[in-house]
Amino acid sequence: MTLIKSISGIRGTIGGAQGDNLTPIDIVKFTTAYVRFMSEKKGGKRLTVVVGRDARISGAMVNDIIEGTLMGCGADVINVGLCTTPGTEMAVITNKADGGIIITASHNPKQWNALKLLNEHGEFLNDAEGKRVLALAEQEDFDFPTVDALGKVISREEFNDTHIAQVLALDMVDVEAVRKRRFKVVVDAVNSVGGIVIPRLLRELGCEVVELNCTPDGHFAHNPEPLPENLTQISEVIVREKADLGVVVDPDVDRLALVCQNGDMFGEEYTLVAVADYILSACKGNTVSNLSSSRALRDVTEAHGGNYEASAVGEVNVVAKMKQTGAVIGGEGNGGVIYPALHYGRDALVGVALFLTFLAKKGMTMTELRATYPAYFASKNKIQLTPEIDVDKVLHEMKTRYAGEKVNDIDGVKIDFPDNWVHLRKSNTEPIIRVYTEARSPEEADALAARFIAEIKGICGIK
Instruction: Find residue 76's DSSP bridge partners.
Output: 48
400-408 long-range Cβ contacts below 8 angstroms, 24+ apart: 401/455, 408/291, 408/310
* Helices and strands counted in the chain (H then E): 15, 20
Contact predicate 263/239, CB 8 Å: yes
Q: Of 373, 356, 342, which Cα lies nearest the Cα of 277?
A: 373
Among residues 97, 241, 183, which one has the least CA distance to residue 359?
183
Pick the closest to residue 350 from 101, 87, 113 (CA basis): 87
Q: CA-to-CA distance for 399 and 407, rounded, in angstroms? A: 7
Q: Catalytic annotation on 155?
A: no
Beta partners for 77? Answer: 49, 153
Contacts of 168 (CB under 8 A, 6+ apart): 175, 201, 204, 205, 353
Distance, in Å, from the CA atom of 355 to the CA atom of 250, rounded to the nearest integer, reads 17
Q: Residue 267 burial by CB count (10 A; 0-12/13-18/19+): exposed, middle or buried? A: buried
Q: Give the three-state DSSP class for 251.
A: coil
Q: Are 460 and 384 in contact (CB under 8 A)?
A: no
Of 8, 39, 58, 106, the catalytic one is 106
Question: Left (φ > 0), alpha (ψ -120 to 50) or beta: where does 267 sit?
Answer: left
Q: Which of 462, 451, 461 is nearest to 401 (CA)?
A: 451
The closest alpha carbon to 280, from 262, 255, 298, 256, belongs to: 298
- Indicate which residues carry an active-site annotation: 106
